[in-house]
Amino acid sequence: MMDLDRFTRIDPVTWRIEPHGPMRVPGMIYADADLIRAMDDKVFEQTVNVASLPGIVGACHVMPDAHWGYGFPIGGVAAFDPEKGGVISAGGVGFDISCGVRTILTGLKTEEVLRLQAAIADSLYRQIPAGVGSKGAIALEPGEMDAMLRGGAAWAVAQGWGEPADLERIEEHGRMEGAAPDCVSDRAKERQREEMGTLGSGNHYLEVQAVAEILDRAAAEAFGLREDEVVVTIHCGSRGLGHQIAAEFSKEMVVAAESSSIQLPDRELACAPIESDLGRRYLGAMRAAVNCALANREILTHHARRVFRHFFPGATLPLLYDVSHNTCKVETHKVDGKRRRLFVHRKGATRAFGPGNESLPEAFRAVGQPVLIGGSMGTASYVLAGSGAEARAFSSACHGAGRALSRHAALRQWGGRQVVDELAAQGIVVRSPSSRGVAEEAPGAYKDVTAVVLAAERAGLARRVARLRPLICIKG
């Protein structure tokens, strides 16, 4: 548990860690007192460590769903200036590069889906491979692999997995520039060869959800959300390829940091100067992994649409939005009164651009970017809208509920069958190949997602648009 006396309280949901020791900037945590007390003390330590890295600007920002992670706290946001010796850290992006969330509108009423709930769940489970080492029906040869890593969701659409209109509703229009497949190892590519169109394991899921409550009618209308209609939400990332890239570059960055005279407060914060050869190679590989994740979610969307159109012929199922929460992106932000080109690491944090941002689809510019917040099995999820609080956290918000217990601790408290039965009693159908995986992701292992999004809203990071409740959950 964290001690509040270690912070300077700015307001009820803003807490500052004053620079001390090697810190170059302060740490800022956006959460109410109860959420902070419940955080592992490692969050404080990791925030201090990130704030000590070369070239960091503004502050190390931490979201209300934060918990201990690899190097960076999960929920950590930090921006680095290449002109000031800024670095890029594989640990600051994470192992599941471009893990993210997309939500698909169906236009179907909840009662229509509930009448076929079990059949839809069974069909989704058959069509969408899930679990550790899950493999799909797609096997990419080397040339196809490189084309996918360059093209992302745009490549998937060109192959017939997805729809052209989707690309307007995806970050980077479905394809991140600067991807360099030649910077991705053969081992990483081989791990991904048969994993396209798969969910994977851990906290990844596909959920069929009902819009339970509209909280901001103007934004909900712009997003196409209507009370008592059903949406489909997919949460996954770059699978084995992203993990392999992170592992390989983390090892290389430890050695490079020593040769660059970078004093690492923690080996897990291994990094390299942005303008170095290693920094550029990692960026090229990371961007390729982003494209892999975007392509993967596009293929999963294709499978989900096929299932729904089997049961509901003529359903259109347009994409609401797709946004990642494990990335490093080049963005321009105002710091100390000046616009600066920065490399913004978001690990377990979501980009949350506000109204008027020109990079957003025209339909969203008046209300802000959709921010898709996953809860846990059996709890609410939320759709938020970015508020444009650039000074708060480089226009970032939370990404989910955030773990309250480790997976080992969850296994000591719950069994998979127990969780499935309890959720069935609440009207939620779960399908998973792993009883252990279900137990590890038990709802009680996570923070209260409503408390998290309320803290984000009170801190001015984003505002609530709609609350969703789960009907069907496909888990890895």
Which of the residues are catalytic? Answer: 399
> What is the distance of C-alpha 246 from the center of its chain?
16
User: What does the alpha-carbon distance between residue 225 and residue 102 come to, in Å, rounded to a whole number?
Assistant: 14
CB atoms within 10 A of CB 336: 7
How many alpha carbons fall within 13 Å on the CB side of residue 386?
30
DSSP label at 73? P
DSSP label at 5? G
Q: Is 414 within 8 Å of 442 (Cβ atoms)?
A: yes
If we measure between CA atoms, which residue out of 105, 93, 159 comes closest to residue 324?
Answer: 93
DSSP label at 199? -
Q: In angstroms, how far apart are the furthest CA atoms of the chain?
A: 63
CA dihedral 154, 159, 165, 169 (to 10 degrees): -40
Q: Is 474 within 8 Å of 124 (Cβ atoms)?
A: yes
If we measure between CA atoms, which residue out of 341, 352, 357 comes closest to residue 393?
Answer: 352
242 Rama class: left (phi>0) / alpha (psi -120 to 50) / beta: alpha
Could you tell me the two tokens for 362?
């025209």
CB atoms within 10 A of CB 465: 26
Tell me which amino acid residue 78 is.
A
Could you tell me the two tokens for 207?
């959920």
Handedness of CA 16, 18, 21, 23 (dihedral sign): positive
